């Protein structure tokens, strides 16, 4: 029945002089999306991560000489189920984000690219954070996610009008030995997919790669390997962005670090599953585009950031891909 959802309840009490602990526990529970029934009584839908949150905060309370219990229970009827679900209504938060996204689109014509991308990255982060604690999603979430996609499209239409259209077909499998010391070409004014793809090429595919940054895609040299534009050798294919196509083409997709980087690039380029680091990386990229004099300098500046992200993502990986041979 509709009211069979299992819930977790945290019942806690702290001594009056422990205001610092009280505030720390409250902030942690709020960040986890817990519903407050009254002071010291919180609920979450049953899940492993919910149990971990409540157990951690219960331990915090007990360490401060308070008392805490975590109790699992089922809704007794539809009335109680409705009352509990109402504690997790995120409509107002979605409404606020919807308004902010609309305001950003209305102001796009007046903004510089770095500022526009910074604002969008912050809103993308806020949407992802709200989605993370939206345990009973409905129309408001779908509306905001759709509006976020529209805002991203509007921003790219203004600042990156030549974004490639996805093709359909199988990903080509390539022999890395045939791709050494080559000239690679993509559109100038690098953004997420292009800069990450260039980093991937030089670090894992073709260590001696040279790059041509194109003012127009029609000016691509005949001997160049184009990437991330319509008609390029490597570009969007199906649901994959160019970075992911390169991973699959050169047999790099099994590496955990590169796969997670691919998820980051995918989310920032075309949307999808939120990635926690996305907003921060987008802000760094926007700032670098403002401060670097050309795309060669931009790639040089961003490469250490991608190196660090890759190292962090690959920490739990037991199999690392071989670097491109010199």
Per the structure block, which two tokens stand in for 107?
């102001």
CA nearest 159: which of 127, 122, 219, 111?
111
Distances from the Cα of 321 to the Cα of 41, 131, 317, angstroms: 50, 34, 10
Question: Tokens 């409509």 — which residue?
Answer: 91
The 10 Å CB-count burial string (b at 16+, else e) for 119-143 is bbbebbbbbbbbbeebbeeeebbee
- Cβ atoms of 278 and 295 within 8 Å: the answer is no
For residue 4, pLDDT over 50 is answered with: no
CA nearest 68: which of 25, 119, 5?
25
- Cβ atoms of 7 and 74 within 8 Å: the answer is yes
Strand positions, DSSP E, 65-224: 67-74, 183-187, 210-214
- Cβ atoms of 41 and 1 within 8 Å: the answer is no
Q: pLDDT by residue (tens digit) across 101-128? A: 999 999 999 998 888 888 988 898 899 8
- Tell me the C-alpha distance between 104 and 154, whole Å: 10
For residue 320, pLDDT over 60 is answered with: no
Greatest distance between any 2 Cα atoms in the chain: 75
The torsion angles phi and psi of 70, rounded to 5 degrees, stand at: -110, 120
Class of domain 6-86: alpha beta
The strand order across the sheet containing 35-38 reads 35-38, 41-45, 6-13, 67-74
CA nearest 84: which of 26, 23, 43, 128?
43
| pTM (2 d.p.) | 0.66
- Cβ atoms of 3 and 76 within 8 Å: the answer is yes
Q: pLDDT by residue (tens digit) across 178-227? A: 999 999 999 999 999 999 999 999 999 999 999 999 999 999 999 999 99
- Tell me the C-alpha distance between 81 and 6, whole Å: 10
Q: pLDDT by residue (tens digit) across 251-305? A: 998 999 999 999 999 988 887 777 888 888 988 998 898 899 999 999 999 999 9
For residue 31, pLDDT over 80 is answered with: yes
Each domain of the chain, given as residue ranges in start order, spans 6-86, 91-159, 176-313
pLDDT score for 324:
59
SS3 40: coil
């Amino acid at each position: 029945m509709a009211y069979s959802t299992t819930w977790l309840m945290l019942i806690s009490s702290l001594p009056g002089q422990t205001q610092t602990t009280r505030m720390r526990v409250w902030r942690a529970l709020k960040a986890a999306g817990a519903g407050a029934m009254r002071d010291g009584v919180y609920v979450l839908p049953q899940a492993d991560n919910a149990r971990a949150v409540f157990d951690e905060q219960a331990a915090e309370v007990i360490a401060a000489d308070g008392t805490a219990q975590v109790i699992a229970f089922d809704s007794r009827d539809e009335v109680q189920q409705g009352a509990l679900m109402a504690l997790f209504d995120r409509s107002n938060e979605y409404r606020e984000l919807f308004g902010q996204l609309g305001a950003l689109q209305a102001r796009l014509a007046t903004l510089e690219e770095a500022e526009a991308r910074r604002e969008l990255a912050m809103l993308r982060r806020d949407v992802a954070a709200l989605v993370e604690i939206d345990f009973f999603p409905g129309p408001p979430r779908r509306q905001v996610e759709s509006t976020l996609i529209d805002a991203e499209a509007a921003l790219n239409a203004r600042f990156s009008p030549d974004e490639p259209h996805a093709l359909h077909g199988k990903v080509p499998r390539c022999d890395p030995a045939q791709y050494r010391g080559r000239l690679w070409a993509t559109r100038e004014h690098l953004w997420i997919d292009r800069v990450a793809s260039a980093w991937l090429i030089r670090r894992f595919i073709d260590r001696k790669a040279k790059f041509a940054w194109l003012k127009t895609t029609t000016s691509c040299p005949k001997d160049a390997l184009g990437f991330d534009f319509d008609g390029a050798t490597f570009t969007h294919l199906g649901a994959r962005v160019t970075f992911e196509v390169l991973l699959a083409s050169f047999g790099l997709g099994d590496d955990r670090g590169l796969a997670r980087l691919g998820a980051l690039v995918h989310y920032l380029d075309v949307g999808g599953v939120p990635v926690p680091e996305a907003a921060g990386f987008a802000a760094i990229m926007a700032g670098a585009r403002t401060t670097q004099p050309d795309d060669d300098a931009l790639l040089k500046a961003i490469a250490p950031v991608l190196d660090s992200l890759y190292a962090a993502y690959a920490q739990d990986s037991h199999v690392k891909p071989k670097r491109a041979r010199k």
